[in-house]
Amino acid sequence: MTSIGIFGANGRMGRALVQVIKEQELSLAVATVRSGSSWLGQDAGELAGCGKLNLALTETSAAAVAEADVWIDFTMPEAMLEHLKLAVAAKKAIVIGVTGLSDAQYQQVQQASQHIPIVWAPNMSVGVNLMLHLVQTAAKVMGETADIEIIEAHHRYKKDAPSGTAMAIGTSIASSLNRDLAECAVYGREGITGEREHNTIGFATVRGGDIIGDHTALFADLGERLEITHKASSRTTFAQGAVRAALWLQNKQPSLYSMQQVLGLTKLD
C-alpha cells in the first residue's frame, strides 16, 4: 500500500488530510510540523479529532521524508519550497495545494518537476475543476460582449488574495478569450474609477468568519447575466482530492501534473 506523508499536519488542511487518510484506511507513515512547534510529539489522529493513530507528529527532516512514498503539502509558499527540496533530494512524489505563489516560486515548482512527479493545483475539489471547464464554454459564448467578474469568499484566516482558485478561473477565462490575464485583470475598485473598461476581468475578494471557499464567475451582459458558482461546505472535499492525487502519482514519471489530469477532465478540452 502507498504510504503517505503530510507536511504541516497541524494546519486546517493538514488535519482534514489526516481524517480522510484514516477514513479511507490508507497508510499515513509520517506527519510533520514545523521545528519547535508546540504540537511536536502529539498524536496526529488525536490532533485531527479522529482518534488515536499511534503516530507522533515529528519535525520535518530528510530522515522523515524518506519514510513515506508520496507527500502532501498544504503549508505556505516559503515552507513548501523547503519541503520540496527535501522531496527532490529523496526522489519522492508530492502533491502541493499551496496558493499565493509568486511567479518565481511557481518556477521553482516547475523546475523541481523535472526531477520528481508533482501535482500542483489551487483547488483539489471535483466541482471547481469542472467549473474551470464550464467557464471556458461560457467565455466562448458570452465573453466578447459580457463583463466578466470573479468573486471569491473565504474565512478570516486566509492569507492570500485573490484566492488561487479565483486566479485559475481568471486564467481559464482569459485563455479562452485570447487575453493575457496580467494585462486585463482589475483587482478591486475604489474612488472615481470611471466606467468599466470592457475587456477587463475584475476580481472581488470577501474575507469573513469560517467560509470554507466560495467562487463565482459572473458574465454580466445587457439584459441578462450568467453566474457560475461553486461553494465548498467542508475541507474534506479538498483533502479527498489531494489524497486521490497522491495515489494517482505513484509510479508516474517526473512532470508537473494538474488536477484536471488526475480527475480525467482533460478529455473535456
Ligand X SMILES: O=C(O)C1=N[C@H](C(=O)O)C[C@H](O)C1
Ligand Y SMILES: NC(=O)C1=CN([C@@H]2O[C@H](COP(=O)(O)OP(=O)(O)OC[C@H]3O[C@@H](n4cnc5c(N)ncnc54)[C@H](OP(=O)(O)O)[C@@H]3O)[C@@H](O)[C@H]2O)C=CC1
Could you list the residues known to form a binding site, using ranges.
8-13, 34, 97-99, 121-124, 155, 164-165
Question: Minimum distance between the CB of residue 62 and ligand Y, rounded to whole angstroms?
Answer: 15
Question: Minimum distance between the CB of residue 164 and ligand Y, rounded to whole angstroms?
Answer: 6
What angle (nearest 5°) sits at the alpha carbon of residue 129, between those of residues 125 and 133?
A: 160
Among 78, 144, 197, 221, which residue interacts with ligand Y (rule: CB under 6 A)? 78
Find which of ligand X, ligand Y, none residue 129 binds, CB within 5 to 8 Å per kind. none
By CB under 6 A, the residues from 78 to 117 that bind ligand X are 99
CA–CA dist 78, 116 (Å, integer): 19
Does residue 164 touch ligand X according to CB under 6 A?
yes
CA–CA dist 8, 27 (Å, integer): 17
Does residue 154 touch ligand X according to CB under 6 A?
yes
Exactly one of 52, 83, 92, 158 is catalytic; name it.
158
Which cell is 254 given? 517526473
Is 159 marked active-site?
Answer: no
Over the window 187 to 226, marking each residue x when it contacts ligand Y by CB under 6 A and - when it does not, the resulting string is: ----------------------------------------
Exactly one of 154, 159, 231, 267 is catalytic; name it.
154
Binding segment toward ligand X, per CB under 6 A, in 15-23, 102-110, 162-170, 175-183: 162-170
Among 4, 5, 10, 131, which residue interacts with ligand Y (rule: CB under 6 A)? 10
Is 140 marked active-site?
Answer: no
- What is the torsional sign of CA 68, 73, 74, 77? positive
> Residue with C-alpha cell 490575464?
181
C-alpha dihedral (126, 234, 205, 72), degrees to nearest 10? -70
Exposure of 150 in the CB half-sphere (CA atoms within 13 A): 28
Does residue 158 touch ligand X according to CB under 6 A?
yes
Does residue 213 touch ligand X according to CB under 6 A?
yes
Query: Which CB sits closer to ligand Y, 37 or 171?
Result: 37
The site for ligand X (CB under 6 A) is made up of 99, 122-123, 154, 158, 163-165, 213
The site for ligand Y (CB under 6 A) is made up of 8, 10-14, 34, 37, 74-76, 78-79, 97-100, 121-124, 164, 238
